[in-house]
Structure 1
């Protein structure tokens, strides 16, 4: 299983438009972050987790030629706004399967009604095949996918475990029964927004405590804001088995 970090930034990305924060003016490519998303490649299947506003740029940067499914964590704009840009994949492959909580699918139907409609559909619009996710494992072409439920302030979000890999973004709190799904991981990806506490995201301290709780072999932090600091400075102060992810990083699990 190969994981490509397409984007590792928070909702505004880094740099933020018009910001004078030092991180936003960094020359280090690892400090430039598109909106958060990953591509999971397994047995030649390409699974996208979240399709944000930088989707087109991310596909071009990584020369992605086919897309077999989109798994959505939740409906916020930085995770969904790129859906229209699946058109090149649709024209080559047909309807693209999307997997999401029923609430998230309804939000997408409202925002992208011209994609989901079956009446008088514009011929240039892409199409999708809807799959409702509940909080129980499902199969994707023989791959067991286990949703992991947690809260983003008051909003329910799904993370996903696939074999020995798990991806959790936009997390603030999680119940013990959901943490039990994360035992014996080789790689955990989890969000760590900034140093200061935040009402709907783990800050760095909370993310590190969560790592101690789950005890994966290796952890990568994502959904990072400029307020976390410079990549290289933060990285050197992390525990040995914990790293900051960065855009276009590829790992094998």
Structure 2
């Protein structure tokens, strides 16, 4: 399995419009963060988790020329806004794009992209195949995916486990029952928004505590805001088995 971080930023990305802080002004490429998303190449399947506003740019940057499925963690716009651009894959692959999400996600997509769901299809619009998921495992081809329910303040959000890899973003609480589903993961991706506490995201200290509880061999933090600090400085304070992810980072599992 090869996982590519398409974006590792929060809903505003980094740099933030109009901000001149140390992080937003940084010349380090690792401090330039698009909205959070990953690409997973596993067996013969190409899967993307979340299509935020930067989806087109991310796919072009990583030269992703085939997509077998699009998974959504939840219905917030920084995770769904780029779905329209799956039509390029429709044209190239001559197939409807399989899209996976909870009932709440699908309802939001129907509002945000109402033209996609009209009975009479306008020429050139995205063509998708909707697959509703819940907390039960499901398969894309031969790839089994275990959903993990986490809480984003009061909003349920899905993480996903594939084999020895677990991806969780937009969380500030994970129940013991769901932690048990993650245990044994070798590589964990987890959100770490900033230094100070936040109402709906793990801060750095809380993310590190969760890594201790779950005990992966390696953890990568994502969904990072400019309030966390710049990549170089924060990285110096992290344990050996924890890294800040950055846009374009590839890991093999």
With normalisation by structure 2, the TM-score equals 0.98
Q: Which residue number in structure 2 is paired with residue 139 of structure 1?
A: 139
Q: Which residue number in structure 1 is paired with residue 175 of structure 2?
A: 175
Q: Is the 8 A contact 1:91 1:126 kept in 2?
A: no
Question: Shift of residue 20 of structure 1?
Answer: 1.6
Question: Shift of residue 116 of structure 1?
Answer: 2.2
Q: What pairs up with 1:1-253 in 2 under 5 angstroms? A: 1-93=1-93, 94-117=95-118, 119-253=119-253
- Secondary structure of 1:247 counterpart: coil
- Secondary structure of 2:150 counterpart: strand
Separation (CA, whole Å) in 1 of partners of 2:240 and 2:222: 17
Separation (CA, whole Å) in 2 of partners of 1:246 and 1:165: 17
Question: Shift of residue 247 of structure 1?
Answer: 0.1
Separation (CA, whole Å) in 1 of partners of 2:142 and 2:183: 21
Give the RMSD, CA atoms, in angstroms: 0.7
With normalisation by structure 1, the TM-score equals 0.98
Question: Shift of residue 138 of structure 1?
Answer: 1.0
Separation (CA, whole Å) in 2 of partners of 1:101 and 1:167: 17
Separation (CA, whole Å) in 2 of partners of 1:219 and 1:48: 20
Give deviations 1:152-204, integer Å, cap 9, x for gaps.
Answer: 00101000000000000000111100000011111000000000000000000
4+ residue segments displaced more than 6 Å: none
**Structure 2: tracts of 5 or more residues without a match:** none
Question: Shift of residue 144 of structure 1?
Answer: 1.2
**Structure 1: tracts of 5 or more residues without a match:** none
- Secondary structure of 2:181 counterpart: helix
Q: Is the 8 A contact 2:43 2:143 kept in 1?
A: no
Give deviations 1:97-125, integer Å, cap 9, x for gaps.
Answer: 000001110110111011122x2211010
- Secondary structure of 2:60 counterpart: helix
Separation (CA, whole Å) in 2 of partners of 1:12 and 1:35: 7
- Secondary structure of 1:10 counterpart: coil
Separation (CA, whole Å) in 1 of partners of 2:54 and 2:143: 27
Question: Shift of residue 44 of structure 1?
Answer: 2.6
Separation (CA, whole Å) in 2 of partners of 1:87 and 1:135: 28
Separation (CA, whole Å) in 2 of partners of 1:184 and 1:120: 48
- Secondary structure of 1:228 counterpart: coil
Question: Shift of residue 56 of structure 1?
Answer: 0.4
Question: Shift of residue 126 of structure 1?
Answer: 1.2
